[in-house]
Amino acid sequence: MNPDLTGNNNRVIAIDGPAASGKSSVSERLSRHLGFLHVNSGIMYRALAWSVLRSGIHAEDARAVIRHLGEIQMDCGISGDKATLTVDGIDPGSELKSSEVNAGVSAVSQVAEVRDVLVAKQREYLDVADIVMEGRDIGSVVFPDTPYKFFIDASIEIRALRRSKEGIVDNLAARDAIDSNRAVSPLVAADDAVVIDTSDMTLEQVLAEILDHLHQSGFNQLNEK
Ligand code: DC
């Protein structure tokens, strides 16, 4: 079986879910375990929001956001076993997690033209590596043909608790509402995704459950480390 969209033999495991559901931690662990590249697609939307805000543009001004995206150089690459991202040569680093970016990122990510450009960049990763990609629409839109799809969820209370432990201001309910109700590629569990509620689970348990499902669906174990 050749599950990807590119005609090569690289595989993609899609990990979708709402903010602070634990998808980043488990995507990181899973990619390390399998020797796959971990790509966090949310970083791309965050980098655009960061650049937009830095330029004094309102995140809600869709036309200005589209224009801005056409003017900047967003480079998504790989260094060693890590995915990298720069905007006009700058790595925004921890600024991508600031409360300002948290507040603006859902607005920029609901613009269809923005999604077209960033989804194309996300798909390019599969040309060069086996990947674990996390986001909101990876199983539903970016790689709908992959047989390996997971939707990682947790109650709003648990997710808010996780964020506050990180010391980050993040209005999860507001982001959930925009991410889930936008017209283009809303946050949704693909019909064929395995849904895992992590509210009462440890990271190890989530990882074990994903690996179990992968093996059941015929995933080749040869690459596992
Ligand atoms: O995963 P995250 O919380 O870092 O994502 C930040 C925002 O980016 C999220 O609120 C919605 C958007 N996003 C998206 O629309 N599609 C994706 N595949 C990933 C993120």
Which candidate, 176, 179, 140, places its Cα nearest to that of 159?
A: 176
How far, in Å, is the centroid of ligand 1 from the Cα of 222? 31
Residues in the chain: 225
Per DSSP, the three-state class of 88 is coil
How far, in Å, is the centroid of ligand 1 from the Cα of 79? 22
Tell me the domain boundaries of the chain. Answer: 3-216
Residue 19 token pair: 């903010």
Q: What's residue 104's pLDDT?
A: 96
Atom of ligand 1 nearest to the CA of 43: 4
Evaluate whether 34 touches 225 at the Cβ level (below 8 Å).
yes
- In the chain, DSSP assigns E strands to 12-16, 37-40, 74-79, 82-87, 131-135, 149-153, 194-197
Give the global pTM.
0.93
Sheet hosting strand 37-40, strand order edge to edge: 74-79, 82-87, 37-40, 131-135, 12-16, 149-153, 194-197
- The one-letter amino acid code at 75 reads D
pLDDT in tens, 48-101: 999 999 999 999 999 999 999 999 999 999 998 899 999 999 999 999 999 999
pLDDT in tens, 5-37: 455 789 999 999 999 999 999 999 999 999 999
Q: Which residues line ligand 1 (CB under 6 A)?
A: 19, 41-42, 45-46, 105-106, 109, 135-138, 175, 179
Determine how many CB atoms are found less than 10 A away from the CB of residue 128.
Answer: 13
Atom of ligand 1 nearest to the CA of 122: 18
Percent share of the chain, pLDDT over 70: 95
Pick the residue whose CA is nearest to atom 16 on ligand 1: 136
Q: What's residue 65's pLDDT?
A: 98
Instruction: Please list, in sequence order, all residues whose beta carbon lies within 8 angstroms of the beta carbon of residue 187, skipping any fewer than 6 positions away.
Output: 16, 17, 18, 136, 137, 176, 179, 180
* Of the options 2.40.50.140, 3.40.50.300, 3.20.20.10, 1.10.40.30, the CATH number for the domain spanning 3-216: 3.40.50.300
Q: What's residue 224's pLDDT?
A: 54
For the segment 111-124, the average pLDDT, to the nearest whole number, is 98
Pick the residue whose CA is nearest to atom 6 on ligand 1: 42
